[in-house]
Amino acid sequence: MSAEFYKLRTQRNPLLYAAVLVVGVLIPSIVLIWYTPTESAVYTDAFRGTFGLLSILIGIEFGGWLLGSEYRHGTVKRMLTSEPRRLRALGSKGIVGAGAMAGVLTVSATLGWAAARLVGSMNDATVPWQGRDLIGDGLTAMVAATVAYGLSAITRSDSFAKVGTIALILVLEPILAVIPNVGKYTIGEALHTVTVSIAGEADLVGTALSPSTAVVTLVLWLTAFLAAGATMFAKRDV
């Protein structure tokens, strides 16, 4: 795990992803300094919109990069001769990656909210803490990263993992969603139910699944991606 953490803190890509997220969530607040709106919803919508979009994009990028870049640069051979127990190697990378991503999401969400609150207060607008919504946004990003990570182990490519995750969101999800009795068990629907339940808005928005069914469905989906990735990673020649 020490080596995986060292890779994250010394390589350019993860530092760049973290910087984009942290700086990105500050940009709406910086822009609003000049526009001086007085409605608090403007600040929260601008911040959450940016955080939600950026975090999911960075999640896909980071999740695919984490293992896919080792294949791209041929360093997977070095990784697996240093730690020949492949599931352990994959697990260490995943745990360190998830921890780092959760940390960066927490820092960026907190900074983004603090900036929105500060700029709002300059214009007499109160920006309330939206912890539940931010947890939902963060969870969405983590799910996207997990899918990309699993796909990178299956495809042995960062590019295919990222494109595959986006294709899943934009193409497969809508197709599955229109199939009766199946559509409500998609990863997107399960995630939607979980996030609106965390935000306490399930009654308001309406969901196709109960929260407990949604949690089980989401866990099953993620387990399927990770198990498929782990099986392929463990068995295939490098």
Partner 1 sequence: MVAVDGLTKRYGSAAAVDALSFDVPAGQVTGLLGPNGAGKTTAMKMLLGLVQPTSGRATVLGAEHGTPEFAHAVQRVGALIESPALYEGLSARRNLELQARALGLPKNPARIDELLELVDLTERGNDRAGAYSLGMKQRLGIAVAMIGRPELVILDEPANGLDPAGIVEIRKLLRRLPEMGTTVLVSSHQLAEVQLASDRIVVLDRGRLVASGTTEEILSGHSSSDYVVHLDPSELATATEHLRRESLTVAPDTAGSLIVALPDGWSGRDLNRVLADAGIYATQLARETVTLEAAFLEMTGAQK
Question: Which listed residue (11, 106, 121, 159) binds partner 1 by CB under 8 A?
Answer: 11
Rule CB under 8 A: choose which of 36, 38, 75, 121 binds partner 1: 75
Q: Which is nearer to partner 1, 72 or 132 (CB)?
A: 72
Contact flag: residue 84 with partner 1 (CB under 8 A): yes
DSSP per-residue string spanning 79-95: HHHH---HHHHHHHHHH
User: Least distance (Å) from partner 1 to the CB of residue 91?
Assistant: 14
Query: Which of the ranges 43-51, 68-76, 95-103, 181-189 carries the binding residues for partner 1, by CB under 8 A?
Result: 68-76
**Residue 85 touching partner 1 (CB under 8 A):** yes
The answer for residues whose C-beta is within 8 angstroms of residue 4's C-beta and 6 or more apart is 92, 93, 96, 97
Per CB under 8 A, the segment of 81-89, 126-134, 159-167, 210-218 that binds partner 1 is 81-89
DSSP code at position 39? -
| Strand intervals (E) in 55-214 | none
By beta-carbon proximity to partner 1, the closer residue of 86 and 132 is: 86
The region of 75-83, 101-109, 141-149, 210-218 touching partner 1 under the rule CB under 8 A is 75-83
Q: Does 77 bind partner 1 (CB under 8 A)?
A: yes
Residues 228 and 164: beta-carbon distance below 8 Å: no
Q: Under the criterion CB under 8 A, does residue 126 sit at the interface with partner 1?
A: no
C-alpha distances out from residue 181 to 70, 78, 178, 196, Å:
40, 46, 9, 21
Binder of partner 1 out of 38, 53, 78, 129 (CB under 8 A): 78
**Cβ–Cβ under 8 Å, residues 59 and 11:** no
**By CB under 8 A, is residue 18 in contact with partner 1?**
no
User: How far is Cα 123 from Cα 145, in angstroms, rounded to an integer?
Assistant: 37
User: In the block, which residue shows the tokens 């919803």?
Assistant: 41
Distance in angstroms (rounded) separating the CA atoms of residues 65 and 196: 29
Q: Of 80, 102, 215, 216, which lies in the binding site for partner 1, with binding defined by CB under 8 A?
A: 80
List CB contacts of 99: < 8 A, sequence separation 6 or more: none
User: According to CB under 8 A, which residues from 179 to 238 bind partner 1?
Assistant: 235, 237-238
Q: Give me the least distance between CB of 9 and partner 1, in Å please.
A: 11
Going by the DSSP 8-state scheme, the letter that residue 186 receives in this structure is S
The two three-digit tokens of residue 214, written as one number: 């949604």
Which residues bind to partner 1, rule: CB under 8 A?
2-3, 6-7, 10-13, 73-85, 235, 237-238
